[in-house]
Amino acid sequence: MAGEQRVSTDYGRVAVVMGGASAEREISLQSGRAILTSLLKSGVDAVGIDTQYGLSGLVSEAHIDRVFIALHGRGGEDGSFQGALSCMNLPYTGSGVLGSALAMDKLKTKQVWRTCQLPTPPYVEAASLDGMLALSDELNFPIALKPVNEGSSIGISKVTDKTSLSRAWPEAAKYDVSILAEQWVEGDEYTIAVLNGQALPTIKLKTNHVFYDYEAKYSSNETRYICPCGLSPETERSLHEMALKAFSVLGCSGWGRVDFMIDKVGQVWLLEVNTIPGMTDHSLVPMAAQQAGLSFDQLVLAILDTSFESKVS
Protein backbone atom coordinates (compact mmCIF):
# COMPACT_ATOMS: atom_id res chain seq x y z
CA MET A 1 0.00 0.00 0.00
CA ALA A 2 2.88 2.34 0.70
CA GLY A 3 4.34 1.66 -2.73
CA GLU A 4 8.07 1.95 -3.35
CA GLN A 5 10.16 1.90 -0.18
CA ARG A 6 11.90 5.23 0.31
CA VAL A 7 14.29 6.63 2.89
CA SER A 8 13.81 10.04 4.46
CA THR A 9 16.40 11.74 2.25
CA ASP A 10 14.51 10.72 -0.91
CA TYR A 11 11.85 13.34 -0.16
CA GLY A 12 14.23 16.27 -0.06
CA ARG A 13 12.96 19.34 1.77
CA VAL A 14 9.21 19.16 2.31
CA ALA A 15 6.92 22.12 2.91
CA VAL A 16 3.78 21.26 4.90
CA VAL A 17 1.32 23.96 3.88
CA MET A 18 -1.52 24.59 6.32
CA GLY A 19 -3.90 27.19 7.66
CA GLY A 20 -4.88 29.31 4.71
CA ALA A 21 -7.82 31.69 4.85
CA SER A 22 -10.82 29.36 4.42
CA ALA A 23 -13.58 28.65 6.93
CA GLU A 24 -11.66 25.46 7.79
CA ARG A 25 -8.46 27.28 8.78
CA GLU A 26 -8.31 26.05 12.38
CA ILE A 27 -8.79 22.40 11.43
CA SER A 28 -6.14 22.79 8.71
CA LEU A 29 -3.67 24.11 11.28
CA GLN A 30 -4.35 21.09 13.48
CA SER A 31 -3.87 18.72 10.55
CA GLY A 32 -0.71 20.47 9.39
CA ARG A 33 0.92 20.46 12.80
CA ALA A 34 0.23 16.75 13.26
CA ILE A 35 1.68 15.99 9.81
CA LEU A 36 4.76 18.16 10.39
CA THR A 37 5.45 16.54 13.75
CA SER A 38 5.15 13.10 12.16
CA LEU A 39 7.48 13.92 9.26
CA LEU A 40 10.14 15.30 11.58
CA LYS A 41 9.79 12.20 13.75
CA SER A 42 10.41 10.08 10.62
CA GLY A 43 13.59 12.01 9.83
CA VAL A 44 12.18 13.99 6.90
CA ASP A 45 13.53 17.51 6.39
CA ALA A 46 10.22 19.37 6.73
CA VAL A 47 9.04 22.89 7.43
CA GLY A 48 5.54 24.19 8.20
CA ILE A 49 4.18 27.12 6.20
CA ASP A 50 0.92 28.95 6.90
CA THR A 51 -0.61 30.25 3.65
CA GLN A 52 -3.04 32.66 5.31
CA TYR A 53 -1.60 35.49 3.22
CA GLY A 54 -0.98 33.58 0.02
CA LEU A 55 2.12 32.01 -1.46
CA SER A 56 4.69 34.44 -0.08
CA GLY A 57 5.79 32.10 2.72
CA LEU A 58 6.28 29.24 0.29
CA VAL A 59 8.08 31.36 -2.28
CA SER A 60 10.47 32.84 0.30
CA GLU A 61 11.39 29.43 1.74
CA ALA A 62 14.61 28.21 0.13
CA HIS A 63 15.09 24.88 -1.63
CA ILE A 64 11.64 23.29 -1.31
CA ASP A 65 11.54 19.97 -3.20
CA ARG A 66 7.90 18.95 -2.68
CA VAL A 67 4.76 20.06 -0.86
CA PHE A 68 2.50 18.18 1.55
CA ILE A 69 -0.85 19.96 1.25
CA ALA A 70 -2.74 20.08 4.55
CA LEU A 71 -5.11 22.86 3.49
CA HIS A 72 -8.86 22.32 3.82
CA GLY A 73 -11.56 24.19 1.94
CA ARG A 74 -11.28 26.98 -0.58
CA GLY A 75 -7.92 28.16 -1.74
CA GLY A 76 -6.29 24.86 -0.84
CA GLU A 77 -8.62 22.00 -1.71
CA ASP A 78 -10.35 23.44 -4.79
CA GLY A 79 -7.57 23.16 -7.37
CA SER A 80 -6.33 26.74 -7.22
CA PHE A 81 -3.37 25.96 -4.96
CA GLN A 82 -2.62 22.82 -6.96
CA GLY A 83 -2.52 24.93 -10.12
CA ALA A 84 -0.08 27.37 -8.53
CA LEU A 85 2.22 24.56 -7.45
CA SER A 86 2.08 23.05 -10.94
CA CYS A 87 3.18 26.38 -12.40
CA MET A 88 6.06 26.42 -9.91
CA ASN A 89 7.03 22.86 -10.93
CA LEU A 90 6.68 21.73 -7.32
CA PRO A 91 5.43 18.16 -6.77
CA TYR A 92 2.58 17.92 -4.26
CA THR A 93 0.45 15.36 -2.47
CA GLY A 94 -3.02 14.24 -3.47
CA SER A 95 -5.24 15.09 -6.40
CA GLY A 96 -4.36 17.42 -9.24
CA VAL A 97 -6.20 20.52 -10.41
CA LEU A 98 -9.11 18.75 -12.08
CA GLY A 99 -9.89 16.25 -9.33
CA SER A 100 -9.54 18.88 -6.62
CA ALA A 101 -11.84 21.34 -8.38
CA LEU A 102 -14.53 18.79 -9.24
CA ALA A 103 -14.61 17.20 -5.79
CA MET A 104 -14.81 20.59 -4.05
CA ASP A 105 -17.88 21.52 -6.10
CA LYS A 106 -20.76 19.41 -4.76
CA LEU A 107 -22.94 20.22 -7.76
CA LYS A 108 -20.32 19.20 -10.34
CA THR A 109 -19.55 16.08 -8.30
CA LYS A 110 -23.17 14.97 -8.42
CA GLN A 111 -23.47 15.76 -12.11
CA VAL A 112 -20.42 13.61 -12.92
CA TRP A 113 -21.68 10.77 -10.72
CA ARG A 114 -25.11 10.82 -12.36
CA THR A 115 -23.51 10.73 -15.81
CA CYS A 116 -21.50 7.69 -14.68
CA GLN A 117 -24.66 6.08 -13.25
CA LEU A 118 -23.43 6.25 -9.67
CA PRO A 119 -26.14 6.70 -7.01
CA THR A 120 -26.40 10.12 -5.38
CA PRO A 121 -29.49 11.70 -3.76
CA PRO A 122 -31.82 13.86 -5.91
CA TYR A 123 -31.02 17.56 -5.72
CA VAL A 124 -31.74 21.06 -6.97
CA GLU A 125 -29.46 24.11 -7.03
CA ALA A 126 -30.26 27.82 -6.83
CA ALA A 127 -28.54 31.16 -6.30
CA SER A 128 -31.44 32.87 -4.50
CA LEU A 129 -33.93 32.00 -1.79
CA ASP A 130 -36.88 32.64 -4.11
CA GLY A 131 -35.33 30.33 -6.68
CA MET A 132 -34.78 27.61 -4.09
CA LEU A 133 -38.31 27.95 -2.70
CA ALA A 134 -39.69 27.46 -6.20
CA LEU A 135 -37.47 24.47 -6.91
CA SER A 136 -37.96 22.80 -3.53
CA ASP A 137 -41.26 21.34 -4.72
CA GLU A 138 -39.17 18.95 -6.83
CA LEU A 139 -37.93 17.27 -3.63
CA ASN A 140 -39.70 15.83 -0.61
CA PHE A 141 -38.95 17.40 2.76
CA PRO A 142 -36.79 16.99 4.74
CA ILE A 143 -33.84 18.14 2.66
CA ALA A 144 -30.21 19.03 3.35
CA LEU A 145 -29.34 22.63 2.45
CA LYS A 146 -25.63 22.95 1.57
CA PRO A 147 -23.22 25.56 0.20
CA VAL A 148 -21.92 24.10 -3.07
CA ASN A 149 -18.26 24.85 -2.32
CA GLU A 150 -17.56 24.19 1.35
CA GLY A 151 -16.32 21.37 3.56
CA SER A 152 -16.49 20.05 7.12
CA SER A 153 -20.32 20.31 7.01
CA ILE A 154 -20.00 24.09 7.32
CA GLY A 155 -23.23 25.92 6.47
CA ILE A 156 -25.32 22.72 6.20
CA SER A 157 -28.80 22.50 7.73
CA LYS A 158 -31.56 19.92 7.83
CA VAL A 159 -34.69 21.61 6.47
CA THR A 160 -38.16 20.22 7.15
CA ASP A 161 -40.41 22.71 5.32
CA LYS A 162 -40.36 25.97 3.37
CA THR A 163 -40.46 28.06 6.53
CA SER A 164 -37.34 26.39 7.94
CA LEU A 165 -35.75 26.61 4.48
CA SER A 166 -36.14 30.41 4.62
CA ARG A 167 -34.58 30.45 8.08
CA ALA A 168 -31.66 28.20 7.06
CA TRP A 169 -30.87 30.01 3.80
CA PRO A 170 -28.78 32.86 5.31
CA GLU A 171 -26.46 30.39 7.05
CA ALA A 172 -25.71 28.56 3.79
CA ALA A 173 -25.52 31.81 1.80
CA LYS A 174 -22.77 33.12 4.12
CA TYR A 175 -20.41 30.64 2.48
CA ASP A 176 -21.43 30.53 -1.19
CA VAL A 177 -23.59 32.14 -3.86
CA SER A 178 -24.60 28.70 -5.10
CA ILE A 179 -26.69 26.56 -2.75
CA LEU A 180 -27.60 22.90 -3.12
CA ALA A 181 -30.75 21.29 -1.74
CA GLU A 182 -30.34 17.53 -1.51
CA GLN A 183 -32.94 14.94 -0.63
CA TRP A 184 -32.43 13.97 3.02
CA VAL A 185 -31.44 10.32 3.47
CA GLU A 186 -32.56 8.51 6.61
CA GLY A 187 -30.12 5.75 7.41
CA ASP A 188 -26.54 5.08 8.44
CA GLU A 189 -23.54 7.15 7.40
CA TYR A 190 -20.25 5.58 6.34
CA THR A 191 -16.93 6.71 4.98
CA ILE A 192 -14.20 4.98 2.99
CA ALA A 193 -10.67 6.32 2.81
CA VAL A 194 -8.72 5.87 -0.42
CA LEU A 195 -4.93 5.59 -0.37
CA ASN A 196 -2.74 4.94 -3.40
CA GLY A 197 -5.49 3.23 -5.38
CA GLN A 198 -6.78 1.07 -2.55
CA ALA A 199 -9.77 1.41 -0.23
CA LEU A 200 -9.13 1.28 3.52
CA PRO A 201 -11.56 -0.37 5.96
CA THR A 202 -15.02 1.22 6.03
CA ILE A 203 -15.97 3.31 9.07
CA LYS A 204 -19.56 3.65 10.29
CA LEU A 205 -20.39 6.96 11.95
CA LYS A 206 -22.84 7.31 14.83
CA THR A 207 -23.73 10.69 16.32
CA ASN A 208 -26.37 12.07 18.66
CA HIS A 209 -26.51 15.20 16.50
CA VAL A 210 -29.10 15.67 13.74
CA PHE A 211 -26.29 14.75 11.33
CA TYR A 212 -22.50 14.42 11.32
CA ASP A 213 -21.92 18.17 11.60
CA TYR A 214 -18.84 20.29 12.37
CA GLU A 215 -19.09 19.80 16.14
CA ALA A 216 -19.64 16.03 15.79
CA LYS A 217 -16.59 15.87 13.50
CA TYR A 218 -14.10 17.85 15.53
CA SER A 219 -15.10 18.43 19.14
CA SER A 220 -17.73 15.98 20.35
CA ASN A 221 -16.50 13.08 22.46
CA GLU A 222 -19.82 11.29 21.97
CA THR A 223 -19.42 10.60 18.24
CA ARG A 224 -18.82 6.88 17.69
CA TYR A 225 -16.58 5.51 14.96
CA ILE A 226 -17.28 1.84 14.26
CA CYS A 227 -14.54 -0.06 12.44
CA PRO A 228 -14.96 -2.89 11.52
CA CYS A 229 -18.21 -1.35 10.35
CA GLY A 230 -20.41 -4.43 10.82
CA LEU A 231 -21.28 -4.97 7.17
CA SER A 232 -20.70 -8.34 5.50
CA PRO A 233 -17.37 -8.82 3.70
CA GLU A 234 -19.25 -9.05 0.38
CA THR A 235 -21.11 -5.80 1.01
CA GLU A 236 -17.94 -4.02 2.07
CA ARG A 237 -16.08 -5.21 -1.03
CA SER A 238 -18.90 -3.86 -3.19
CA LEU A 239 -18.77 -0.52 -1.36
CA HIS A 240 -15.01 -0.35 -1.83
CA GLU A 241 -15.43 -0.83 -5.57
CA MET A 242 -18.06 1.90 -5.71
CA ALA A 243 -15.92 4.28 -3.63
CA LEU A 244 -12.89 3.76 -5.85
CA LYS A 245 -14.98 4.41 -8.96
CA ALA A 246 -16.64 7.49 -7.42
CA PHE A 247 -13.16 8.79 -6.57
CA SER A 248 -11.55 8.07 -9.92
CA VAL A 249 -14.32 9.39 -12.21
CA LEU A 250 -13.82 12.82 -10.64
CA GLY A 251 -10.15 12.70 -11.63
CA CYS A 252 -9.06 12.31 -8.01
CA SER A 253 -5.83 10.53 -7.15
CA GLY A 254 -3.40 9.78 -4.34
CA TRP A 255 -5.55 9.87 -1.26
CA GLY A 256 -8.92 11.09 -0.08
CA ARG A 257 -12.20 10.01 1.45
CA VAL A 258 -15.61 9.07 0.02
CA ASP A 259 -18.69 9.69 2.19
CA PHE A 260 -21.99 7.91 1.67
CA MET A 261 -25.25 6.82 3.31
CA ILE A 262 -27.10 3.51 3.32
CA ASP A 263 -30.82 4.12 3.71
CA LYS A 264 -33.34 1.99 5.57
CA VAL A 265 -33.99 -0.27 2.56
CA GLY A 266 -30.28 -0.84 1.88
CA GLN A 267 -29.80 1.64 -0.98
CA VAL A 268 -26.36 3.25 -1.11
CA TRP A 269 -26.22 7.02 -1.73
CA LEU A 270 -22.92 8.77 -2.45
CA LEU A 271 -22.62 12.17 -0.76
CA GLU A 272 -19.21 13.69 -1.51
CA VAL A 273 -15.46 13.23 -1.84
CA ASN A 274 -12.87 14.95 0.32
CA THR A 275 -9.54 15.24 -1.48
CA ILE A 276 -7.63 16.53 1.59
CA PRO A 277 -9.34 14.98 4.61
CA GLY A 278 -8.53 16.01 8.16
CA MET A 279 -5.52 14.55 9.92
CA THR A 280 -6.45 15.54 13.49
CA ASP A 281 -6.99 13.26 16.51
CA HIS A 282 -10.71 13.11 15.55
CA SER A 283 -10.06 12.39 11.87
CA LEU A 284 -11.29 9.39 9.94
CA VAL A 285 -8.45 8.52 7.58
CA PRO A 286 -5.96 7.84 10.41
CA MET A 287 -8.59 5.60 12.07
CA ALA A 288 -9.09 3.58 8.89
CA ALA A 289 -5.34 3.36 8.33
CA GLN A 290 -4.82 2.06 11.86
CA GLN A 291 -7.42 -0.64 11.23
CA ALA A 292 -5.48 -1.57 8.07
CA GLY A 293 -2.27 -1.89 10.08
CA LEU A 294 -0.72 1.50 9.29
CA SER A 295 0.51 3.77 12.07
CA PHE A 296 -0.03 7.51 11.76
CA ASP A 297 3.62 7.99 10.79
CA GLN A 298 3.37 5.29 8.11
CA LEU A 299 0.18 6.89 6.79
CA VAL A 300 1.81 10.31 6.54
CA LEU A 301 4.73 8.89 4.56
CA ALA A 302 2.34 6.96 2.28
CA ILE A 303 0.49 10.21 1.55
CA LEU A 304 3.78 12.00 0.94
CA ASP A 305 4.62 9.26 -1.57
CA THR A 306 1.68 10.47 -3.69
CA SER A 307 3.74 13.57 -4.50
CA PHE A 308 5.84 11.38 -6.81
CA GLU A 309 2.82 10.56 -9.00
CA SER A 310 1.91 12.43 -12.17
CA LYS A 311 -1.32 14.42 -11.83
CA VAL A 312 -4.46 14.50 -13.95
CA SER A 313 -4.73 18.11 -15.13
Which of 125, 182, 213, 259 does the annotation list as catalytic? 259
Which of 94, 218, 251, 305 does the annotation list as catalytic? 218
Looking only at the bridges linking them, the beta strands covering 45-50 and 13-18 are parallel
Which of 22, 136, 152, 153 does the annotation list as catalytic? 152
Which of 272, 283, 305, 307 does the annotation list as catalytic? 272
Whether 89 is a known active-site residue: answer no
Q: Would you tell me how many other CB atoms lie within 10 Å of the CB of residue 18?
A: 28
Whether 24 is a known active-site residue: answer yes
Which of 136, 157, 274, 283 does the annotation list as catalytic? 274
Whether 278 is a known active-site residue: answer yes
Whether 150 is a known active-site residue: answer no
SS3 track for the chain: CCCCCCCHHHHCEEEEEECCCCCCHHHHHHHHHHHHHHHHHCCCEEEEEECCCCCHHHHHCCCCCEEEECCCCCCCCCCHHHHHHHHCCCCECCCCHHHHHHHHCHHHHHHHHHHCCCCCCCEEEECCHHHHHHHHHHCCCCEEEEECCCCCCCCCEEECCHHHHHHHHHHHHCCCCCEEEEECCCEEEEEEEEECCEECCCEEEECCCCCCCHHHHHCCCCCEEECCCCCCHHHHHHHHHHHHHHHHCCCCCCEEEEEEEEECCCCEEEEEEECCCCCCCCCHHHHHHHHCCCCHHHHHHHHHHHHHCCCCC
Whether 161 is a known active-site residue: answer no
Q: How far apart are CA 204 and CA 189, in angstroms?
A: 6
Which of 19, 20, 22, 24 does the annotation list as catalytic? 24
Whether 94 is a known active-site residue: answer no
Active site residues: 24, 152, 218, 257, 259, 272, 274, 278
